[in-house]
C-alpha cells in the first residue's frame, strides 16, 4: 500500500497554503478546539537536556514498572547523536536549490506544533517556525515550501521514498527509527505521560489503569509502550493522537498516552484535561531525513546551531515563548527553558 500524502504549498513566511488539508484532520481539529478555551499560565512538563528514548521495563519480565536505561544504537553513541554541522552543498542540497522549494512532512493535527490557524490559511506552530528557519537558510528570504500532511505511521515511509526532503513532526529519535532514517540533533525534549480528564481515578501508569481504556496513536512511542506491557487496560488504537482526545471527549476512551509536549496542545484545547504520573520516557525530537543525504543532515544541524543560540529571524527561545511557554513553563517555579544541547558523531 502506497503512502498517500496530501500537499499544502507555502509561498509566504507564515505558511500560506494554496490547498486544503484533509477533511478528516480539519474535522478532528475543530471538534477538539470547540470544546475549550486556553487555560492560565503554567502546565505540564518543561524543557531539559537531550537523552535517547528509554525502553519499556517489560524487556526484563513484563508488567508496569520504571523504565530501563536509555537505548544505545551504536556502541557508546546514543540515539540523539548526529553528523557534525556544515553548510556544504552536496547532491541533496543542490537538488533542493535546483527545484526552488523545500518539501517537508508535517502534522496539521497538533495544536501549538503544526496546525492551520483558525480563520486563515496560515500553517503555524513550533515545528513550522523551525521549518521556516531551515527553508530560509537553504533558499533565502520568502522561500517556497511544500507542506505535506503525513499521518504518524507514514513519516518514515515518506522520507525513505523521497516524497519529502525531511519530516518535522514532533518525531522522537529512537534506535529503531535511527536504523531507517537519519536524524538531526535534538531540537526539543519531552517524555511519555498519561493525559486524563478532570475527575479521573487514573493516577498514572500504575495499577489504576487496570480495566480502563487507554488510547494511543499508531506508529508512536506510546503505542510501543502500551502494546508491549501487561497493564490490564484496554488499548484503543487510532491513527493520530488528536483522535484520542476526541474519543475521550465523546466518552469512548478514559485516557491518552502521548508525550508531555504534545499534551500541552491538548490542554490548551481542553483545559479539563490534565497530566498524571511521572514521565515514562525521556525523548528528543529530531528532524528526520533520508540516510542517503548526509549533506542535508549536516546543513540542518548547522541551522540548528544558530537556531538554539538565537540571533536569527525565529530562534528557539522566541518560538518557545510564542507557542509553548504558557503551557510548559511556570516562571514562578521553573528554571528558564533551554534548548537541548547537540551531540555529534566524530
Q: Give the model's pLDDT for residue 78.
A: 59
DSSP one-letter code for 209: G
Residue 40 has pLDDT above 80, yes or no: no
Which grid cell sits at 182? Answer: 537519519
| Residue 73 binned pLDDT confidence (cut-offs 50, 70, 90) | low
Which grid cell sits at 335? Answer: 528554571
Q: What percent of the chain is modeled with pLDDT above 70?
A: 76
Q: What is the pLDDT of residues 12-21, one digit of tens each?
A: 444 333 333 3
Q: Give the model's pLDDT for residue 2.
A: 35
Q: 3-state DSSP: the chain helix, strand, coil percent, rounded to 5? A: 30, 20, 50
Of the two residues 3 and 236, the one the predictor is more confident about is 236
Q: What is the pLDDT of residues 142-166, one digit of tens each?
A: 999 999 999 888 999 999 999 999 9
Q: Give the model's pLDDT for residue 83.
A: 92
Q: What is the mean pLDDT of the chain?
A: 80
Q: Worst-scoring range by mean pLDDT, 6-10, 173-177, 289-293, 299-303?
A: 6-10
Q: Worst-scoring range by mean pLDDT, 6-20, 126-140, 183-197, 289-303?
A: 6-20
Q: What number is the average pLDDT over the span 254-277?
A: 93
Q: Give the model's pLDDT for residue 224.
A: 87
| Residue 270 binned pLDDT confidence (cut-offs 50, 70, 90) | very high
Domains of the chain: 7-34+76-189+285-324 (3.40.190.10), 57-63+190-276 (3.40.190.10)
- Give pTM, 2 decimals: 0.77
In the sheet that 255-259 helps form, which strands lie side by side, from edge to edge? Answer: 234-238, 213-217, 255-259, 192-197, 273-276
| Residue 311 binned pLDDT confidence (cut-offs 50, 70, 90) | low
Residue 29 has pLDDT above 80, yes or no: no
DSSP symbols for 20-84? PPPHHHHHHHHHHHTT-----S--S-------PPBPPGGGGS-SS----SBPEEETTEETT-BPP
DSSP symbols for 274-334? EEES--S--EEE--EE-TT-HHHHHHHHHHHHHHHH--STT-HHHHHHHHTHHHH--TTTS
Residue 76 has pLDDT above 70, yes or no: no
Residue 119 has pLDDT above 60, yes or no: yes
Compute the distance between CA of residue 272 and CA of residue 37 in angstroms, rounded to an integer: 10
| Residue 69 binned pLDDT confidence (cut-offs 50, 70, 90) | very low
Compute the distance between CA of residue 10 and CA of residue 37 in angstroms, rounded to an integer: 28
> Contact at 8 Å (CB) between 99 and 71?
no
Q: What percent of the chain is modeled with pLDDT above 90?
A: 58
> Contact at 8 Å (CB) between 287 and 82?
no
Residue 8 has pLDDT above 60, yes or no: no
| Residue 80 binned pLDDT confidence (cut-offs 50, 70, 90) | low
Q: Is the dihedral of CA 48, 52, 58, 61 positive or negative?
A: negative
Q: Give the model's pLDDT for residue 58.
A: 32
> Which residues, in sequence order, are CB contacts of 238 under 8 Å at separation 6+?
215, 216, 217, 218, 244, 247
Q: C-alpha angle 168/18/322, rounded to 5°?
A: 45
Q: Give the model's pLDDT for residue 111.
A: 93
Amino acid at each position: 500500500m502506497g503512502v498517500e500524502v496530501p500537499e499544502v504549498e507555502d509561498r509566504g513566511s507564515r505558511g500560506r497554503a494554496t490547498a486544503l488539508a484533509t477533511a478528516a484532520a480539519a474535522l478532528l481539529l475543530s471538534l477538539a478546539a470547540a470544546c475549550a478555551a486556553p487555560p492560565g499560565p503554567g502546565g505540564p512538563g518543561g524543557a531539559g537536556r537531550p537523552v535517547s528514548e528509554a525502553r519499556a521495563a517489560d524487556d526484563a519480565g513484563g508488567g508496569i514498572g520504571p523504565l530501563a536505561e536509555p537505548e544505545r544504537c551504536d556502541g557508546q553513541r546514543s540515539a540523539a547523536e548526529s553528523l557534525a554541522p556544515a553548510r556544504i552543498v552536496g547532491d541533496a542540497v543542490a537538488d533542493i536549490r535546483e527545484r526552488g522549494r523545500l518539501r517537508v512532512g508535517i502534522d496539521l493535527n497538533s495544536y501549538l506544533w503544526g496546525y492551520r490557524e483558525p480563520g486563515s490559511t496560515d500553517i503555524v506552530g513550533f515545528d513550522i517556525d523551525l521549518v521556516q528557519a531551515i527553508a530560509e537558510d537553504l533558499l533565502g528570504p520568502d522561500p517556497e515550501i511544500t507542506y505535506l500532511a503525513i499521518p504518524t505511521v507514514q513519516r518514515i515511509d515518506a522520507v525513505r521514498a523521497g516524497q519529502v526532503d525531511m519530516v518535522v513532526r514532533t518525531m522522537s529519535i529512537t534506535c529503531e527509527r535511527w536504523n531507517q532514517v537519519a536524524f538531526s540533533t535534538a531540537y526539543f525534549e519531552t517524555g511519555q505521560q498519561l493525559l486524563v480528564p478532570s475527575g479521573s481515578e487514573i493516577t498514572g501508569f500504575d495499577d489504576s489503569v487496570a480495566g480502563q481504556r487507554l488510547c494511543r496513536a499508531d506508529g508512536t512511542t506510546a503505542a510501543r509502550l502500551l502494546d508491549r506491557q501487561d497493564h490490564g487496560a484496554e488499548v484503543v488504537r487510532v491513527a493520530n493522537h488528536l483522535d484520542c482526545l476526541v474519543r475521550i471527549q465523546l466518552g469512548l476512551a478514559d485516557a491518552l498516552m502521548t508525550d508531555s509536549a504534545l499534551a500541552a496542545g491538548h490542554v490548551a484545547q481542553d483545559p479539563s484535561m490534565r497530566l498524571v504520573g511521572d514521565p515514562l520516557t525521556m525523548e528528543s525530537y529530531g528532524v528526520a531525513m533520508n540516510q542517503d543525504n548526509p549533506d542535508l543532515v549536516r546543513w540542518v544541524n548547522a541551522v540548528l546551531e544558530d537556531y538554539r543560540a538565537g540571533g536569527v529571524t525565529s530562534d528557539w527561545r522566541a518560538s518557545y515563548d510564542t507557542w509553548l511557554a504558557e503551557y510548559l513553563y511556570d516562571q514562578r517555579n521553573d528554571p528558564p527553558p533551554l534548548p537541548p544541547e547537540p551531540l555529534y558523531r566524530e
